[in-house]
Amino acid sequence: MTDRRYVIDEMISAKEIAARIEALCREIQTEFKDTDKLVVVGLLRGSFVFIADLVRELDLPIEVDFLEASSYGDGMESSREVRILKDLRGAIEGRDVLLVEDIVDTGHTLHHVTNLLQSRNPARLRTIALLDKPSRREVDMKANWTGFEIPDEFVVGYGIDYAQRNRNLPYIGKVRFP
């Protein structure tokens, strides 16, 4: 796909994403097999497509809630300052929680949000990220489950944006400036 300012090269196909989600959901179901209800918390906005596919694939009693955190704005670099723009609607104390992140880059957002949720005393808190860029990590933070490890490239698609564009792509693509 070409835009006037940049080109997007496919990195991970829609088919690869779907297959990986199936495998991840089997592991999540094993972890939470004894739950009365799993609260799946999506980090908006980048995780919304991933969370939709995850919850459709999970054969568990599910409740969905969302939290919006920002450390990027419209840029390509993390500001490293995490701001909570929208908090959860429900309480998670004593409940099983799965935090869903689109991409772990520097680790600041996942670290901040995990600490915030942990302070609310969930029974269990686990994390899943569609993408992981370990070469960019500044905070010692890793999701319990990861879809794909990727190199230090700016990516879009499957819910992930660049300046609020390209979220609707069914695949993960690398942004390239010609």
CA distances to 11, 97, 99, 140, 151 from 42, rounded to whole Å, are: 23, 10, 6, 21, 24
Interatomic CA distance for residues 56 and 45, integer angstroms: 18
* 129's tokens: 């990220």
For the chain, the average pLDDT equals: 92
Give residue 4's pLDDT: 62
| Average confidence (pLDDT) over 141-150 | 97
CATH class of 14-150: alpha beta
Give residue 112's pLDDT: 93
Give residue 175's pLDDT: 94
Give residue 82's pLDDT: 80
What are the sequence ranges of the domains in the chain? Answer: 14-150
Give residue 153's pLDDT: 93
| Average confidence (pLDDT) over 83-87 | 89
Query: Does residue 80 have a pLDDT over 70?
Result: no
> Is the peptide bond prior to 136 cis by the omega test (within 30 degrees of 0)?
no
Give residue 156's pLDDT: 96
Query: Does residue 74 have a pLDDT over 50?
Result: no
Interatomic CA distance for residues 54 and 139, integer angstroms: 26
Query: Does residue 2 have a pLDDT over 50?
Result: no
Residue % of the chain over a pLDDT of 70: 92
Give residue 77's pLDDT: 52
Q: Is 152 a catalytic residue?
A: no
Determine which one of 96, 102, 105, 132 is catalytic: 105
Give residue 3's pLDDT: 45
